[in-house]
Structure 1
Amino acid sequence: MRSSSSATCARPFGRPSARSDRVSDDVQAGATFSADAGTDARVRLTAANLTKSYGRKMVVRGVSFEMHEGEIVGFLGPNGAGKTTCFYMIVGFIRPNSGRIYLSGREITRRPMYQRARAGISYLPQEPSVFRKLTVEQNIKAVLETRRDLTRAQKRQTLEELLQELGIEHKRKQRAYTLSGGERRRTEIARSLAIRPRFLLLDEPFAGIDPIAVYEIKQIVAKLSAKGIGVLITDHNVRDTLEITHRSYIIKDGEIVVAGSREEVMQNEIARKVYLGDTFTI
């Protein structure tokens, strides 16, 4: 997806510093977006008035939000609120009934998943997504093989960097089905990062892992943000999620009812009534 220069490959989580680099990256990614569409140096992901229904049941009702590279944004709410459906629409699993999705002003609402991935949107589902019988190393290689912009040497270099960054180099020869919950999560994140995303959507990343692993995942998310990757995260572990988010949205019955900083969300009466509870603290 990215430039094949050794300088770019040397930092698989890094971001190009100039807008012209981003434009050339989009072209090289194979996405059919016009190179002159981006005028804002801050890459942003935007959803505008998304709706989705299944039969007569309206699941998402006019959801709108925006986030930029480097932001950690929470997307929170009770079960059945429409969070995962919104994620599915953003990554291209399903299409909205109405509304639009933009990546830095370029509409991608009807773009297929592979074009969105090449343009910089990666998704980590709640369900295990590793190939269970492959090793950690093989799982990451499987994604890197789709990177036509990298030479074999660059793919090997990127593999080593991902293993090191995620702290799983010592597990590289271990088959995925033998990993702990935290080790599996780190392997899944490494796979998601192998395409060098601008935005990473994490669906319940803290589910099914112990407190130590939760802390490690939070540290990884913070590092990704520092490297310029935007992270949209939904999780029922609200305290751990709010601790690392810059802003959050709360969704209920398919509608966003609260939006703001951590402090604003925590102090909001509606947020406390519909989701957090009156006694919620961090």
Structure 2
Amino acid sequence: MSAARTKRPRTSADSAPIWEGEPTAQSRADSAAGKDESSILLHTEGLKKVYDGRAVVNGVDIEVKAGEIVGLLGPNGAGKTTTFYMIVGLVRPNGGKVMFDGNDATEQPMFKRARLGMGYLPQEESIFRRLTVKENILAVMETQSYTKKEREEQCQQLMEKFGIDHVADNLALTLSGGEKRRLTIARSLVTEPKLLMLDEPFSGVDPIAVSEIQDIIRMLRRAGLAILITDHNVRETLNIVDRAYLIYEGQVRRHGTKDFLVNDPEARRLYLGEDFTM
């Protein structure tokens, strides 16, 4: 999705890429201008989706702020994935709105959402398996107005930041699950999105890789990125989010911090289970 973004000129405001783990030039400018950095970046209003006469999503409202990690949780068939895909742009809602950074993105195709700053990492592999790690990143950089020198420098920075510089010349198909996931995230940051939507980021990776990915997500939050996660690995998700929404039978039934949800009787009854522990 991110690679569809059109080229734009590089400016002095771009001198601190978001993957460096520091607030972006734009966020620093907003702060200096007195803007509220915790303002809502993404919110949905009454999202609804009907299949075969049944409302699988029925009036879902969520919000995500800049510099915040938010999770979407729920059992299979609850409407969690459909809600996520309506935000991404893969599924068209039958009602409600998707608002992003002051823009109504409800009817926008995915490539236009990407131009607004909505980045999406699908569950399935989105890397070029027969290209090297370095070539994978450089391929996305071709969509941006970097000079050749800038491409080389920024590519090296990304590989070092995500711990894949030692496999720079390896074909992507030879990477471990964790390395593939880190490469995918690195590629998504080339276009410097404001929001990163992660679909099952902890699926198919070992516990060490899960911890590394969680560290990367925290680093992106420190840089001011908004992050929306949906994953069936509930413990891994709750360990990383600031807040989470529990969707059940097409509606938000519970919403709050990890501590609130883990100790909430209704969240336990509907999804977590009575014996759930972190």
Instruction: Check whether TM > 0.5.
Output: yes
Does the C-alpha gap of structure 1 residues 21 and 160 become closer, same or farther in structure 2, counting only changes over 3 Å?
farther
Which piece of structure 1 moves more, 8-17 or 83-92? Answer: 8-17
- CA shift, 1:19, in A, is 3.2
Map Cα deviations across residues 6-49 of structure 1 (whole Å, 9 max, x no partner): 55244243422123999xxxxxxxxxxxxxxxx86535111111
For 1:3 and 1:263, the matched residues in 2 are separated by: 45
Do residues 84 (structure 1) and 84 (structure 2) align? no
Equivalent residue for 1:18? 29
Equivalent residue for 1:30? none
- Work out which of the residue numbers 76, 81, 98 in structure 2 matches 1:101: 98
The two structures have a TM-score, normalised by structure 2, of 0.88
Q: Secondary structure at the match of 2:127?
A: coil
Do residues 187 (structure 1) and 180 (structure 2) align? no
Identical counterparts, % of pairs: 48
Q: Unpaired runs of 5+ in structure 1?
A: 23-38
Matches within 5 A, 1:120-139: 120-139=117-136
Do residues 45 (structure 1) and 42 (structure 2) align? yes
Q: Aligned residues, how many?
A: 265
Does the C-alpha gap of structure 1 residues 86 and 175 become closer, same or farther in structure 2, counting only changes over 3 Å?
same
- Work out which of the residue numbers 268, 271, 281 in structure 1 matches 2:267: 271
Do residues 145 (structure 1) and 142 (structure 2) align? yes
- Work out which of the residue numbers 209, 219, 222 in structure 2 matches 1:223: 219
- CA shift, 1:3, in A, is 6.2
Output the amino acid matched with 2:10: S
Whether the 8 Å CA contact 2:18–2:223 is kept in 1: the answer is no
Q: Secondary structure at the match of 1:18?
A: helix
- CA shift, 1:98, in A, is 0.8
Whether the 8 Å CA contact 1:10–1:158 is kept in 2: the answer is no
Map Cα deviations across residues 210-260 of structure 1 (whole Å, 9 max, x no partner): 111011001111111111111111112211211111111011122111001
Whether the 8 Å CA contact 1:76–1:235 is kept in 2: the answer is yes
For 1:86 and 1:2, the matched residues in 2 are separated by: 31
Whether the 8 Å CA contact 2:244–2:256 is kept in 1: the answer is yes
- CA shift, 1:125, in A, is 1.1
Q: Unpaired runs of 5+ in structure 2?
A: 1-6
After the TM superposition, which parts of structure 1 deviate over 4 Å for at least 4 consecutive aligned residues?
A: none
Output the amino acid matched with 1:18: A
- CA shift, 1:198, in A, is 0.8
Which piece of structure 1 moves more, 51-60 or 191-200? Answer: 51-60
Aligned CA-pair RMSD: 2.1
